[in-house]
A = this chain, B = another copy of it.
Amino acid sequence: MRSNAPIISSGTNDLDRAVPLDKRWVVGVDLGGTNIVVGVLPIDGGRGDVLGCRNVPTEAQRGAKFVVDRIVGLIEESIAEVIAAHGGTRDDFAGVGIGSPGPLNRATGTVINTPNLGWRNFPLRDLISNGVSLPATLDNDANCATYGEWWLGAGRNVDTLVGVTLGTGIGGGIVLNGRIFHGVSDAAGEIGHMTIEANGRRCNCGNYGCLEAYASGPAIALRAIEGIEAGAESLLPALVDGKLENLTAATVYEGVVLGDPYANDVMRETAKLLGAGVASIINVLNPAMVVIAGGVTRAGEHLFEPLRAEVRKRAFKSAQEACQIVSAQLPGTAGLIGAIAVFKKETYGAV
């Protein structure tokens, strides 16, 4: 349990004393390969209700300058909307927190390399900061999503948690004692690239047997398709008009909801494989919480019940008993909320 007063409430607890009261708002940016999400929170976080929220396609193929200009434009729109609704001026905005795919150099605010965006050594932080004439910070998107859940979401009552986001890949973030743990070269938290089968499936990272190669959205779909091609009876082919190439992880959840036993088998197998990874995390880091995010959590207890059962089998009792395994509470906004928390932490030393 966190030793300080709840951080969500009033902005008057110990940790918040360092945050200046002459600033009312902070802007958050969650840059992804598919979409850009921008929004504003009051500097104390309020209840986590994001104001002036924008969510538009990234269109990375139009080039880095286009994406930066788009982000700058979205920030200006958000700021204008908040001022129109709540009064005040630009001086009420403390700055901008940015979350981006990595690897990053946080010190220089540079994106070292993002295959999804096609950028190399790109000074994203300063280009945005200059574009809007506000200070800005940059951190990894998965770190931001985890920090957002810690600040105002599922983890708001714990100090130490691990976030796992199941999507096209598997992202991860580690929060220790209220701080993002970055490691020695900003590369920590790659939960999706823990080996769970040393001689297992090839992963997009080039390695074999990573958690991501089993429990990401595309990996779930692939395992489902392989079983069907091997003769498993299932509703799933009918859900994609027999076109298995259109079968996605979402189709599998749909099958689970419709009561298809094969879809349920695929989900249970996913939960067991994810459980092996989560149990490893618990045995190594002994966190108070593991927060699972991403579309797959829509499967609810079809995922969490076998996941928790697998972890109980695999993790040490004292570590497993100390750890809640829960669904994320800020779908869609955790990334920008966490980027705002990073801005506060880096600027004022407190969130």
Specify which chain B residues have a CB less than 8 angstroms from the CB of A21 in the assembled complex: none
Shortest Cβ gap from A145 to chain B (Å): 16
Closest residue of chain B to A310 (Cβ to Cβ) is B198
Given the complex of chains A and B, what is the CA–CA distance between A206 and B197 in angstroms?
A: 18
Specify which chain B residues have a CB less than 8 angstroms from the CB of A76 in the assembled complex: none
Shortest Cβ gap from A317 to chain B (Å): 8
Is A280 an interface residue when CB atoms closer than 8 A count as contact?
Answer: yes
> Are A176 and B187 in contact, CB atoms less than 8 angstroms apart?
no
Is A71 an interface residue when CB atoms closer than 8 A count as contact?
Answer: no
Is A189 an interface residue when CB atoms closer than 8 A count as contact?
Answer: yes
What are the 10 A-B residue pairs with the smallest beta carbon separation, nearest first?
A183-B286, A188-B286, A187-B319, A185-B322, A190-B283, A194-B280, A187-B286, A195-B276, A198-B276, A193-B283
Spell out A's residues near B (CB within 8 Å). 103, 112, 159-160, 172, 174, 176, 181-191, 193-199, 205-209, 272-273, 276-277, 279-281, 283-288, 313-314, 316, 318-319, 321-323
| 10 residue pairs A–B, Cβ–Cβ below 8 Å | A159-B184, A160-B183, A183-B287, A184-B322, A185-B321, A188-B285, A193-B280, A194-B194, A195-B196, A205-B316
